[in-house]
Amino acid sequence: MISISGKRRSAGNRVWTLVMLIALALCVLPLADILWVIALRGVPAIKLDLFVTSTSGVAGGLANAITGTLLIVCAAVALAAPIGILGALFVSELADRRTAALIRYAADTLTGVPSIVLGYVCYVALVVTLGWGFSLLAAAIVLMLMMLPYILRTADLAMQRIPVELRQASYALGATRSETAFGVVLGASLPGIVTGVLVAISISVGETAPLIYTAGWSNYMPTGKLFHSPVGYLTYVIWTFINEPFDSAHQLAYAAALILIVLVLIINVLGRLTMRRRD
Amino acid sequence: MRTYNRRKLVVSAVVLTGLLFAASSAWAGGTKEASSNGNGTSSASSSSGGKIALLETGSSLLYPLFNLWVPDYTTKNPNIQLTTQSTGSGTGIAMATNGSAQIGASDAYLSDALMKKTPGMLNVPLAISAQQINYNVPGLNTQHLKLSGPVLSGIYGGKILYWDDPAIAQINPGVNLPHHAIVPVHRTDGSGDTFIFTQFLSDSTPQWNDSIGAGLTVSWPAVQGGIGAEGNPGMVQAIEQNPYSVAYIGISWLDQATKAGMGEAMLQNQAGNFVLPDETTVKAAAAAMFKKTPQDERISLIYAPGAQSYPIINYEYAIIQTKQPNQAEATALKAFLTWALSADGGGAATYLNKVHFQPLPASVSQLSIDQVNKITG
Amino acid sequence: MRFRIIRDSLSRYACGFLAASVPLFLAAVLLIVVASAWPAIMFNGWHFLYTLPWSVGNEYGSATMTVNGFLAPKGAEYGMLVFFVGTLLTSLIALIIAVPVSIAAALFLSEVAPRRIAGPLGTLVELLAGVPSVVFGLWGIEVVAPAVKNSIGPVLSHLFGFIPAFRGPVGTGVGLLSSGIVLAIMIIPIITAVSRDVIENLPDEVRHQGYALGATRSEVIGAIILPYARNGIIGAVTLGLGRALGETMAVLMVSGSALNYLPGNIYSPVGTMAANIVALLDSAMIDPTGMAVHALAELALVLFILTFIVNALVPIVAGGVVRISSMLPTAAEFGGHRE
């Protein structure tokens, strides 16, 4: 593998460096192009009006969609975060090895379920069978199902990285297992937990298929009702309006795409800042 | 060791979430559309502060008309919030049947089996619409190519593969047809347009009737390169982007197709004449068929007899449940539908002309109103 | 003291109860899918796995047929071959494009690039893993499909036309190649991020040994780093594959939605399982016997099983190590979703 001739070796080195550079370019350029295209068509479409008017048919503003997205995601986090964090505490600190392994395995599998399957299941179970109709709660639950395993696993891992000495010190002081868990481990792993939650939010903000079957769509601001009240959301605008042959529709679609990307960017930046603090 | 204050982190996270919630609700309260009066009802319906929220979903053919109606209607009736969605007639029927939407827009009426399975559904025609065949053949888009049911059956059936096929050349004498593969575009979603198009193919071509038949979805025969598109807008986009393609598109989208430079075909009717869908030909077809409309108004108007009749016309249906969850919604629905059916409301020429629809004949309109009056809460 | 013991037990049970919700939810999802699919499984039998036609039958006729005790409209016939092949082929093309590019990029970022550049560039790649899939679909319609039709397609069929798969006609631009390209761009950030993580976590001594012996950088990479990181990279690729298999919206927008035929070349329209569940679901609800919906649930079940198998392969193939390190709240998390 390592040849003798010096010249050939350094030429080989240069060739591979070039190859890697090209690969990186192939990575970065299309991605930069996406951002560029969205920015190019989205920025002119952003007007102050957009944030206070709702959609109306294929025109109008994005107020209802933005509020809807935020509301659904907030509701989903409110459900997923406590369950995920306390569940992670159980798996990492309080459970025996077999139970912990089972729950971890279930979480990993759940992350692999395609979102359309989750959306369909919630449609059948919640929207139709339970009779909730298109509703905020059904949408929140389907997003919760997507977020929960991520939050649980990342919190679990964050807790596992806490050095064992910390726990030992707590036990030495006479604390019980759950006192150690809540009092010491939870606090120490908080930045990792927060990062995990932010990641889960970033993922769910961009979902479309599951929301089509649970939130439905509404041209009006969300009423806050949990049942029988369809809610609008940004990804719907992108998905539907881009096909409508009207300029107003296209503008809204690109504006929505831009807002979504900015939102995801903000969340990611927040995630990095929290991570940095850990060390 | 700890470089952050744990308590501050938790408190700030909670405060941030709380602020977000508060901001969302304040936003919801302060924008142009929503204005809650604070007297929220406790009924199971989707109303808040005295407003009734209705969801219309379904046919992309009927969608443009609903989008013309809704702003005007809700301005005059501010206590109604009507959301429109273009999702395909299949979705319209399904959502109306299971109660997820109040109005299911559909170009197709419910089948006998569906009527039996879910009794109590109303099929209410609101207008008469039509469907045209658009194509994108470079050089021929400005003239009107002549096509017929058997020819289209051949194209979509994978038997006629090239634009210069003898079958097409025979009905287009003197036209310079290119030797290029045809790209037939069909609808992927459950589509009322597919329903009326395949009814036309079935009525005009016995072979299609026997092998594939008609429906909101059919098992499209394998044509290499054939594409599927979502909704009428998707169909327009598909032929725009693909030379030598052909698609069946609802007449409310004719203007978009024409503006994009697409060609419109003349279709052969039962009498053997080639016609374009305009007011005369659509009304002629309607005149030949409307008297047969039964009380439940489920009838096909396809392939009407008559020298001038256009072969693909249909009623545009609102699929409604007779029994609504509560009185408020029932009243709101009846009010809206009555307005939609009245000649100086939704049935006015100013609305219908923009989408090239025709108003219902008086007797049919009356049948529709009779059905609307059956809605209870 | 007793109070603390009781509180300890209560806390444990409460947390355990909440943690148990995860396997419960998973079981519930699986149960509902299987229950929905059962009539179709009985009706279709093994045919489902290898037949081509997908037909809901004559929905508007009154004739029905009964197979194995389950009712369906006359003429109904369900075969998943088109969608299964479509899913596999699009994911395959995505992997062929994404894997070399991602690994090379990861190597560049961790071994070659100076720290000042590697940091921001790496961050850029990772951030883009969070872009919603509809946005990728948007870009696919606007940029990729026209590019395939006008430049990439003609070039490929000109250069490689002797291979049947690359031979024209280039067609309409939407199809297998466009879907593969869009999927590749979507999974590149994941594979790059996780691979980079794995490579950077390799102990420095290993590299130093190589350089001490006088090896060039590319020799060190080829002979030392890649073999050591092999398992981790395989895990990264599996993560990316998992996402590609379940991707719905972006593929729906650029696949061309083929029905009842297999692609003849790489430019041909295709259908994938996930995309078609969305596309066919609403029309399926018109079927009065309900068999069409059951058939889609069966398709969803197959997809579920497929992703399950792929995900289960990761700890086996990569020895369990990668799964944990890839789940670290670093790069990897920012791109694991699939829609």
Phi, psi values for residue B53, rounded to 5°: -105, 125
Predicted pLDDT at A185:
83
% of residues, chain A, pLDDT over 90: 21
The arithmetic mean of pLDDT across residues A85-91, rounded, is 91
Dihedral angle sign, alpha carbons of residues B324, B329, B333, B339: positive
C329 in Cβ contact with A195 (< 8 Å): yes
Confidence of residue B158 (pLDDT cuts 50, 70, 90): very high
The residue to which tokens 């001594």 are assigned: C205
Beta-bridge partners for B57: B85, B104
B14 interface with A at CB cutoff 8 Å: no
Phi, psi values for residue B129, rounded to 5°: -120, 180
Instruction: Give the pLDDT confidence of C233-282 residue by residue, as tens digits.
Output: 887 888 788 888 888 889 988 988 888 888 888 888 899 999 888 888 87
A211 in Cβ contact with A233 (< 8 Å): yes
Contacts of B208 (CB under 8 A, 6+ apart): B153, B157, B198, B201, B202
Q: What is the dihedral of CA A104, A105, A111, A117, to 10 degrees?
A: -130
A58 interface with B at CB cutoff 8 Å: yes
Q: State the CATH number of the domain containing residue A82.
A: 1.10.3720.10
Record the tokens describing residue A214, joined without a space.
């649970």
Task: Give the DSSP H/E element, type plus range, for residue A212.
Answer: helix A209-212
Phi-psi region of A133 (alpha: psi -120 to 50; beta: other; left: phi over 0): left
DSSP A226-258: SSS-----HHHHHHHHTTSS-HHHHHHHHHHHH
Predicted pLDDT at C332:
38
* Chains touching A by CB (3 or more pairs below 8 Å): B, C
Record the tokens describing residue B333, joined without a space.
């629905």
Instruction: Give the pLDDT confidence of A186-242 residue by residue, as tens digits.
Output: 888 888 888 888 888 888 888 898 999 899 888 888 888 888 888 999 999 998 888
Predicted pLDDT at B13:
56
Record the tokens describing residue B316, joined without a space.
């545009």
A239 interface with C at CB cutoff 8 Å: yes
A158 in Cβ contact with A189 (< 8 Å): yes
| B349 CA: distance to closest CA in chain C (Å) | 32
Contacts of C231 (CB under 8 A, 6+ apart): C317, C318, C319, C321, C322
Most C CBs within 10 Å: which of B224, B236, B244, as the mutation test of the C interface? B224
Q: Do C269 and B227 touch (CB under 8 A)?
A: yes
Grouping H, G, I as helix, E, B as strand and the rest as coil, residue C293 is: helix
> Comparing C-alpha atoms, which of C169, C184, C175, C167 is closest to residue C145?
C175
A192 interface with C at CB cutoff 8 Å: yes
Task: Give the DSSP H/E element, type plus range, for residue A55.
Answer: strand A55-56
A78 interface with C at CB cutoff 8 Å: no
Most C CBs within 10 Å: which of B197, B210, B217, B242, as the mutation test of the C interface? B217
* Chains touching B by CB (3 or more pairs below 8 Å): A, C
Record the tokens describing residue C270, joined without a space.
């295709």
How far does CA B292 lie from the centroid of its chain? Answer: 23
From the number of C-beta atoms within 10 Å of its C-beta (0-12, 13-18, 19+), residue B227 rates as: buried
Range of the domain at A138: 67-233
E strand spans, chain C: 54-55, 64-67, 70-73, 77-78
Alpha-carbon distances of B22 from A67, A71, B19, B26, B216, rounded to whole Å:
11, 10, 5, 6, 45
Amino acid letter for position B282 = V
> Comparing C-alpha atoms, which of B205, B219, B196 is closest to residue B302?
B196
Grouping H, G, I as helix, E, B as strand and the rest as coil, residue C286 is: coil
Record the tokens describing residue C282, joined without a space.
């609403």
What residue in B sits closest to C283 (Cα-Cα)? B190
What residue in B sits closest to A249 (Cα-Cα)? B233
| B317 CA: distance to closest CA in chain C (Å) | 15
Give the number of other CB atoms < 10 A from CB of residue A205.
21
Instruction: Give the pLDDT confidence of C292-319 residue by residue, as tens digits.
Output: 889 999 999 999 898 888 877 766 765 5
Q: Do A264 and C217 touch (CB under 8 A)?
A: no
Give contacts of A 118-157 with C, CB under 8 A. Answer: 118, 120-121, 124-125, 145-146, 148-150, 152-154, 157
Confidence of residue C331 (pLDDT cuts 50, 70, 90): very low
Confidence of residue B279 (pLDDT cuts 50, 70, 90): very high
Q: Do B4 and A191 touch (CB under 8 A)?
A: yes
B9 interface with A at CB cutoff 8 Å: yes
What residue in B sits closest to A270 (Cα-Cα)? B13
Tell me the domain boundaries of chain C. Answer: 2-77, 81-338
Instruction: Give the pLDDT confidence of B166-220 residue by residue, as tens digits.
Output: 999 999 999 999 999 999 999 988 889 999 999 999 999 999 998 888 988 888 8
Cα–Cα distance for residue pair C281/C259, rounded to 1 Å:
14
Predicted pLDDT at C98:
93
% of residues, chain B, pLDDT over 70: 87
C309 interface with A at CB cutoff 8 Å: no
What residue in A sits closest to B12 (Cα-Cα)? A194
- Evaluate the omega torsion of the peptide bond into residue C169 and state whether it is cis, within 30 degrees of 0: yes
Q: Do A277 and B4 touch (CB under 8 A)?
A: yes
> Comparing C-alpha atoms, which of B133, B125, B112, B4 is closest to residue B59?
B125
B297 in Cβ contact with B367 (< 8 Å): yes
Q: How many alpha carbons fall within 13 Å on the CB side of residue B12?
A: 10
Q: Does A212 map to a domain?
A: yes
What residue in A sits closest to C305 (Cα-Cα)? A113
Give the number of other CB atoms < 10 A from CB of residue C112.
18
Cα–Cα distance for residue pair C338/A150, rounded to 1 Å:
13
Q: Based on the structure, what is the number of domains in chain A?
A: 1
Whether domain C81-338 has CATH 1.10.3720.10: yes
Give chain C positions within 8 Å (CB) of B87.
282
Task: Give the DSSP H/E element, type plus range, for residue C23.
Answer: helix C2-44
Q: Do C282 and B88 touch (CB under 8 A)?
A: yes
Q: What is the DSSP letter of C165?
A: G
Q: Does A30 map to a domain?
A: no
Give chain B positions within 8 Å (CB) of C75.
213, 219
B311 in Cβ contact with B268 (< 8 Å): yes
Q: Does A126 map to a domain?
A: yes
Interstrand relation of A59-60 and A55-56 (parallel, antiparallel or unpaired)? antiparallel
What residue in B sits closest to A69 (Cα-Cα)? B24
- In three-state form (DSSP H/G/I as H, E/B as E, the rest C), the secondary structure along chain B is CCCCCHHHHHHHHHHHHHHHHHHHHHHHHHCCCCCCCCCCCCCCCCEECCEEEEEEEECCCCHHHHHHHHHHHHHHCCCEEEEEEECCHHHHHHHHHHCCCCEEEECCCCCHHHHHHCCCEEEEEEEEEEEEEEEECCCCCCCCCEECHHHHHHHHCCCCCECCCHHHHHHCCCCCCCCCECEEEEECCCCHHHHHHHHHHHHHCHHHHHHCCCCCCCCCCCCCCCEEECHHHHHHHHHHHCCCEEEEEEHHHHHHHHHCCCEECEEECCCCCEECCCHHHHHHHHHHHHHHCCCCCCCCCCCCCCCCCCCCEEEEEEEEECECCCHHHHHHHHHHHHHHHCCCCCCCHHHHHHCCCECCCHHHHHHHHHHHCCCEC
Where is average pLDDT lowest: A267-271, B241-245, B330-334?
A: A267-271
Give contacts of A 208-267 with B, CB under 8 A. Answer: 216-225, 227-230, 240, 243-245
From the number of C-beta atoms within 10 Å of its C-beta (0-12, 13-18, 19+), residue A33 rates as: middle
Cα–Cα distance for residue pair A42/A255, rounded to 1 Å:
4
Residue B37 has pLDDT above 50, yes or no: no
The arithmetic mean of pLDDT across residues B312-338, rounded, is 93
Most B CBs within 10 Å: which of C83, C172, C249, as the mutation test of the B interface? C172
Q: Does A138 map to a domain?
A: yes
Cα–Cα distance for residue pair A24/A16, rounded to 1 Å:
12
